[in-house]
Structure 1
């Protein structure tokens, strides 16, 4: 949580950003065209995404070589608030630095239909680029219509693989699973042993299954037996998950040597070790939920993997502006070290050890992010 000192620091950082935006590329809020993009300096931290920062600087340098133009864009998210708060912060900050005009909008709980209407409206209003966090393939038709009308679309957080979108920006699930598996592996005793994975159980949940397979491959490759507890998302799911994993801890053969949670309810793994009286087992989690942080402070979760929502939101306006000014191929070339499959830009993860919670909170405060 952000304390009062953090809020004052963020307010000062925000003022600096506003000042920078008024002297940056594109147009100001009043439509006055200016000639130079200047990114506000990100406060230094061990959690800085240095490769992303360096790549953005390279893009800005390329853009500043030419004449800059005004641009209108729209960033359309599933919702405003919660998980999407850091995305909103990043997107607004980038648009301010670029001096472009545009809005960040949520679908207001109305789903893919409302989002499709928002895409259509953005095109009608003159958007020259759209960033969207799509409701999967259900949003693909709207994305394709925008692209067919000449408006490039970048997806973020979730993808619509079947669409014509230019680039996806966010977490790559299989890669994230590998990272999580490697984090737990470093904490385990030598094989043999059983690892409990708390993750996807629905084969239609592609990202969840990809994350699961990435982690599973690392741990099975190291000689461990894997047992999976599919996440129960029902209102009674927490109790059911804890009881099921408690039973796995008590009955597994060979004995359980660690637990890995791959989604935002990963803290249930720590609850299961408490229920089984086995709090010595290492638990590794995913996302940065308040309950996860609580168990980290108690030493019952040894590390978690925080998705970089802020960077996903921050990158999209820069990519859209790059596409307009230097073209899609040139923009992709600059980001090539982080792009897989020619079109998926991996923002990576922050691996946060249990004893670095305060340092990570300080980093989040410094960039104006709460999660």
Structure 2
């Protein structure tokens, strides 16, 4: 039985471990963060494709126990007038229904599920380097410990240490927007339950949803120069963002104004992406999720794409005679789809400016993710 090391215990890394364990591999997770609460204030939305992937690794119950479903989406103009509304994805299928969750809660739920199944999850294990040999690969950690396996999976995010071993010159690039997000119990924006609302503000793309207990989760994407490391950590972004959004009469400014230190304050990050064509693998090391194909958040597909990765990788290794063949098949199956998402998302962030790549056939995805159907190139 092959021994596989997964570096990174976030959504993609832990789901990859669950999928590999289901496929019969000996797998363990090494996570740099000391607990499961990374990015506790941030939220994300799992789309139908991500929920489909979770179902294939028997993790639906673990995830639907947290967060809340989203059945519809509506679009408002800058004045707050409704432009369009409709169902969100396959809203009638409980297994495929979109779901809104806090990132820290999702990581915690998946890690608990991994531990329940006997998959070791080691915390405070910050990777220092990767050493490949002819018959094994070794991860060395900053505390002086190490782990050796037959294959190493880098699921350690946009600033991946594993990627430095495979593609030392590859770097995330700025995708033209600053992304603000927050949550508050003090806003009462219009909208129905289980609904996501997008607002076409004149100076931002804004979205929000309200949980069943009345907490509003929101984000704003603003085109501007990238923030420095110091600016990203200094705080105090609420008032400038409110001033920007006050140029319109829709609900966005009031929602942000209601967000304060007691509910997580306003967080900000730079939208970044991994350039298409970045190498993903060597003989015994592979990148997945944001480490391989991180995209701007404009399409909202980052976590769902990572969940797809988990299933397709496990099936590719399960259904091929050796690791090299399995990794090559995985890359052939995944690169067109994820790079299409990166390009489309980057184009949205840049106001329609960006390249184009062929659109993969969406109708092929259910077969590719179906656990009981063998993969083929």
What TM-score do the two structures reach when normalised by structure 2?
0.31
Which one has the bigger helix percentage?
Answer: 1
> Between Structure 1 and Structure 2, whose CA radius of gyration is higher?
1
What TM-score do the two structures reach when normalised by structure 1?
0.32
